[in-house]
A and B are shown apart, each in its own frame.
Chain A
Amino acid sequence: MSTTLRINGITHQVDLPDDVPLLWVLRDEVGLTGTKFGCGVAACGACTVHIDGEAVRSCQVALSDVWGDVTTIEGIGTPDTMAAVQQAWVANQVAQCGYCQSGQIMQAASLLAENPSPSDAEIDEAMQGNLCRCGTYPRIRAAIHDAAKMMKEA
């Protein structure tokens, strides 16, 4: 059964059963491997993408339920044209192993889109579903504040 998806502005036809989670459509079918698998049960946030701008756990959204345009980490910026939030991540040297960071960045990007200057408490609230086993949290917090500043100045 063929489903049409719009991902990072490009239309894809995918031939997979309806119940395959978006995560696995992206990774194993479309070849967008920036979005990561961590738990499969909505407990880590590594698989976070945007659907119509809203941060969602792609491991929990079945292919047939994708309700809008999908944006992945590859869609918000590239190494040569990084989004402000990605630039802030580099400037703060956030990543350690880096495996959770696509999900962290996508979560942070949606927070900043809704709330251009989040407080520490608002950051806590928005980011607590995103696990980092390496413990990069303080630099994530600093990068979100920096990105907020950069986006305001831009």
Chain B
Amino acid sequence: MASIRKIARRSFLIGSAAIVGGVAFGTYKYHQPAPNPLEEKDGRAVLNPFVFVDQSGVTLIAPRAEMGQGVKSSWASLIAEELDVDPAKVSVLHGPAAKAYYNSAMMSEALPGRGYDASDFQHSLGEIVGHMSKFLDLQVTGGSSSMRDGFDRMRQAGASARETLKQAAADQLGVSRDQLKTEDGHVVAPDGTRLSYSTLAAAAAMIEPVETGLRPASSWRLIGKDVPRIDMVAKSTGTAEFGVDVRLPGMKFAAIKQSPHFGVGKTAFDASAAEGMAGVEKILDLGDAVAVVATNTWLAQQAVDAIDVTWDPAPYPETTDAIFDEIARSFGNAPNSTMRDDGDVDTLPDGATVIEAEYRLPYLAHATMEPMNATALYTGDGLQIWAPNQGPTVVQKNAAELAGLEKDAVEVNTTYLGGGFGRRIETDYTDRAVQIALQMPGTPVQLTWSREEDMSHDFYRPGAIARYRAAVKDGNAVMVHGKIAAQSTTVEGAGRMLGLPMTGPDKGHVDAAFNQPLAIPNFRVEGYLAKPMIPVGFWRSVGASFNGFFSDCIIDEMAHAAGRDPLEFRLELAHPEWEPAAKVLETVRDMSGWTGKTADGIGRGVALAYSFGTPVAQVIEVANQDGQIRMTNAWIAADLGRVIDPQNTRAQMFGGMVYGLSAACFGEITFQGGAVEQQNFPDYDALRMHTMPKVEVALLENQPHMGGAGEPGTPPAAPALANAIFDLTGRRARQLPLMHDFDLFI
């Protein structure tokens, strides 16, 4: 234990370095600093990565993808909290792809254990394991991890920079450091003299950085408050630069048509019709795709559509039914995991009522608002990439391999992301741009996928089947036995990202099924892995996106079979297991004025899901409107332990719920002839202004650890809605999307 603490502490060593006319501050990770990514440029040396101060002011580096979750602002707030600068008055940059910006929180999620019951010791262990991602070069934004990752590290970077600047001022003024204060980018002396950080920067670089403790929560000015987001004006005036907005001198525009059958190439293609078309500059054969480079994206798209291609047949089952048959077949194999096995699920007490249910959920696309795109320039000995991406070091590594270059010769510029949801942790779209750029040396090319290409070439949320057997007796839960089968996102997606074979029990596959904070005496959850067929990846909340539905719907069915109020039934199971989970249930009960009774024509459903460290309860209310089902109200309560920015966190919770509800109502990716059937938004719709319920969000801070914000809002949405529809109609939704079996208001 002692040695673990020591290592954890050593991982926060502070460093600084001289830059011309200034100083750079940052935190070193683990024993050795990761190599410094900010190059010496114009004589501006930067040793370490998070804060630098020079003549032009203060610059903070927030090396996480801004995809709408406000991370750029929140990350800057963590530094600014200790540094005493106004986040609105400093520059905040994303910075380059670099090892030093690795994500330490995401890997720690991979540790075994249910999460909510982790001791402090396990949390320290989690941090140490997190530092593994440094060695894997894992600079990624995902797993609802950014705030958990940056919370201590960034405040420490800010605190050290502040105290070091104060020391420089103390030396200059001949007073002791503790007589000085800091405020709005200045050190203030007892006599009121104000020295700006810029003027102190050069001197600060010459002294040993000062390590200091962190301020108590009671003195925070930014953390826990609504801080205006620094990207808001740009995003309200059309001036924020997304990937598709990159414009470079001499740039050309490309469109692509990839094999509709995943993983195979083509037998023949005829591009003669495309050759003479307006604006066309080059037609490219990419093996398993064809592309056209033109003077305009639309002209490129017209030309690529005119290319006649015969694709090789799909090497996997060609229809949705055949694919689900294959998923079901995996129940016949040995389970990949049994991550929960409490009591005995095989022996039931006399008189118990048994419930058996099979649930099926479809494959889902991410459908980010900004379609996949990337811009690349190949110069013969180097490659520059501009892309809205969630994993710059992965982009860099894969691009270097494609181009036969050293990683250092590949520069990755991360723009704003028009939505991520896990889609942009992949690198297929940057790889495609690189393939094209390699054939156009000296010319920057921007590749934009059509919506049709984007929807039919995703790394999908896997389709999943769950078989549950459960029992109640005398109004109480006696047993739950769940078996969950799907393709594995960990094996396929994480394997792809890390370039490593993933073996052993797959925790992500059963996340939000085995680790729900419910005291059920006989409780077993088994995971079954179907073989790879359709490309699958990380879809907002990953395994919890299907398991949240399975594990909560069965509880609702049990409550009904037991003749109990569904909210009270869950509450009784949560209380003895984990109080913060009970609290979120009580909160939505009180917010919604839950009585267990609803008027005629009104239905209410509740759901609870624990994922990414955060328990979330939701109540959804539906109404019968002229025979159609309309969502009228929703209430969300979430316990994040610590809320960095309430307004932004509410937006995340709410957005996560909308994402889940959209999928529950309309989302499905189906297959015919090995190809995806859905092509554009009319086939894959989402909630809109008029179909949106009114929503209230409550944020709690009862649990001792910091939970995620971006994902945990999604898992309870679909079950809460399905349970509400059951309350209204008496019909259980065991399959999604709901639009097939229910008449939804659209």
Given contacts A16-B296, A39-B451, A89-B236, contact A128 B417 (CB under 8 A): no
Min distance, Cβ B327 to any Cβ of chain A, angstroms? 27
**A89-B681 Cα distance, complex, nearest whole Å:** 25
Q: Is the CB of A28 within 8 A of B253?
A: yes
Q: Is the CB of A131 within 8 A of B247?
A: no
Q: Is the CB of B245 within 8 A of A33?
A: yes
Which of B228, B247, B662, B690 has most A Cβ within 10 Å?
B690
Which of B253, B420, B688 has most A Cβ within 10 Å?
B688
Residues 117-151 of A at the B interface (beta carbon under 8 Å):
123-125, 127-141
Min distance, Cβ A37 to any Cβ of chain B, angstroms? 7
At the interface, yes or no: A7 with Cβ under 8 Å from chain B?
no
Give the chain A neighbours of B450 by CB distance below 8 A: 40
Give the chain B neighbours of A70 by CB distance below 8 A: none
**A124-B630 Cα distance, complex, nearest whole Å:** 14
Report the nearest A residue to B689, measured CB to CB.
A127
Q: Is the CB of B237 within 8 A of A86?
A: yes
One digit per residue, 1 when the CB lies within 8 angstroms of any chain B CB and 0 when it does not, for chain A 57-92 equals 000000000000000111001110010001001100
Report the nearest B residue to A24, measured CB to CB.
B298
Partner of B369, one of A20, A78, A99: A99
Give the chain A neighbours of B421 by CB distance below 8 A: 133
Among B13-21, B307-315, B552-560, B649-657, the stretch in contact with A:
B649-657
Given contacts A24-B296, A135-B655, contact A97 B416 (CB under 8 A): yes
One digit per residue, 1 when the CB lies within 8 angstroms of any chain A CB and 0 when it does not, for chain B 654-666 equals 1101110010000
Q: Is the CB of B419 within 8 A of A135?
A: no
**A93-B420 Cα distance, complex, nearest whole Å:** 19
Report the nearest B residue to A86, measured CB to CB.
B236
Partner of B247, one of A33, A82, A86, A133: A33
Min distance, Cβ A70 to any Cβ of chain B, angstroms? 14
Q: Is the CB of A40 within 8 A of B236?
A: no
Given contacts A34-B238, A97-B418, A134-B419, contact A128 B690 (CB under 8 A): yes
Given contacts A138-B654, A139-B651, contact A98 B231 (CB under 8 A): yes
Residues 30-49 of A at the B interface (beta carbon under 8 Å):
31-41, 43-44, 46
**A74-B419 Cα distance, complex, nearest whole Å:** 22
Which of A38, A97, A127 has most B Cβ within 10 Å?
A97
Report the nearest A residue to B692, measured CB to CB.
A137
Report the nearest B residue to A106, measured CB to CB.
B238
Give the chain B neighbours of A90 by CB distance below 8 A: 228, 232-233, 236
Report the nearest A residue to B660, measured CB to CB.
A135
**A1-B658 Cα distance, complex, nearest whole Å:** 46
Which of A20, A23, A140 has most B Cβ within 10 Å?
A20
Min distance, Cβ B642 to any Cβ of chain A, angstroms? 20
Q: Is the CB of B655 within 8 A of A134?
A: yes
Q: Is the CB of B659 within 8 A of A133?
A: yes
Partner of A79, one of B68, B229, B239: B239
Q: Is the CB of A77 within 8 A of B659?
A: no
**A137-B367 Cα distance, complex, nearest whole Å:** 17
Residues 411-457 of B at the A interface (beta carbon under 8 Å):
416-421, 448, 450-451
Give the chain A neighbours of B682 by CB distance below 8 A: 41, 43
Interface size class of B (residues with CB under 8 A): 35 or more
One digit per residue, 1 when the CB lies within 8 angstroms of any chain A CB and 0 when it does not, for chain B 211-236 equals 00000000000000010110111111
Partner of B680, one of A34, A41, A135: A41
Q: Is the CB of B299 within 8 A of A39?
A: no
Report the nearest A residue to B695, measured CB to CB.
A138
At the interface, yes or no: A29 with Cβ under 8 Å from chain B?
yes
Min distance, Cβ B388 to any Cβ of chain A, angstroms? 9
Q: Is the CB of B418 within 8 A of A40?
A: no
Interface size class of A (residues with CB under 8 A): 35 or more
Partner of A98, one of B278, B416, B651: B416
A to B contact number (C-beta, < 8 Å): 191
Q: Is the CB of A43 within 8 A of B237?
A: no
**A44-B681 Cα distance, complex, nearest whole Å:** 7
**A133-B663 Cα distance, complex, nearest whole Å:** 11
At the interface, yes or no: B686 with Cβ under 8 Å from chain A?
yes
Report the nearest A residue to B226, measured CB to CB.
A93
**A138-B654 Cα distance, complex, nearest whole Å:** 10
Q: Is the CB of A17 within 8 A of B68?
A: no
Given contacts A24-B296, A77-B237, contact A31 B247 (CB under 8 A): yes
At the interface, yes or no: B370 with Cβ under 8 Å from chain A?
yes
Min distance, Cβ B19 to any Cβ of chain A, angstroms? 29
Q: Is the CB of B299 within 8 A of A98?
A: no
**A19-B313 Cα distance, complex, nearest whole Å:** 35
Q: Is the CB of B238 within 8 A of A35?
A: yes
At the interface, yes or no: A27 with Cβ under 8 Å from chain B?
yes
Partner of B238, one of A17, A102, A129, A138: A102
Min distance, Cβ A122 to any Cβ of chain B, angstroms? 11
At the interface, yes or no: B265 with Cβ under 8 Å from chain A?
no
Give the chain B neighbours of A93 by CB distance below 8 A: 226, 228-229, 232, 647-648, 651
At the interface, yes or no: A55 with Cβ under 8 Å from chain B?
no
Give the chain A neighbours of B242 by CB distance below 8 A: 36, 98-99
Report the nearest A residue to B301, measured CB to CB.
A40
Partner of B688, one of A16, A99, A131: A131
Q: Is the CB of B296 within 8 A of A134?
A: no
Partner of A96, one of B68, B278, B681: B68
Give the chain A neighbours of B695 by CB distance below 8 A: 138
Partner of A73, one of B238, B369, B687: B238
**A125-B691 Cα distance, complex, nearest whole Å:** 11
Q: Is the CB of B298 within 8 A of A97?
A: no
**A38-B688 Cα distance, complex, nearest whole Å:** 15
Q: Is the CB of B68 within 8 A of A97?
A: yes
Give the chain B neighbours of A128 by CB distance below 8 A: 688-690
At the interface, yes or no: B69 with Cβ under 8 Å from chain A?
yes
Q: Is the CB of A98 within 8 A of B68?
A: yes
Give the chain B neighbours of A124 by CB distance below 8 A: 689-690
Report the nearest B residue to A139, measured CB to CB.
B651
Which of A21, A32, A39 has most B Cβ within 10 Å?
A39
Given contacts A20-B296, A72-B238, A134-B419, contact A97 B232 (CB under 8 A): no
- 10 nearest CB pairs, A to B: A34-B238, A99-B418, A135-B658, A98-B235, A97-B68, A96-B68, A73-B238, A124-B690, A24-B298, A95-B235
A positions within 8 Å CB-CB of B? 16-17, 20-21, 23-24, 27-29, 31-41, 43-44, 46, 72-74, 77-79, 82, 86, 89-90, 93-102, 105, 123-125, 127-141
Beyond A98-B231, A127-B688, A133-B686, 5 additional contacts (C-beta under 8 Å) are A27-B297, A28-B298, A43-B682, A95-B231, A98-B234
A-B pairs with beta carbons under 8 Å apart, 26 shown? A16-B279, A16-B296, A28-B253, A28-B298, A36-B370, A38-B370, A38-B681, A41-B682, A44-B369, A44-B681, A90-B232, A90-B233, A93-B228, A93-B651, A98-B418, A124-B690, A125-B690, A130-B688, A132-B369, A133-B368, A133-B419, A134-B369, A137-B689, A138-B654, A139-B651, A141-B689
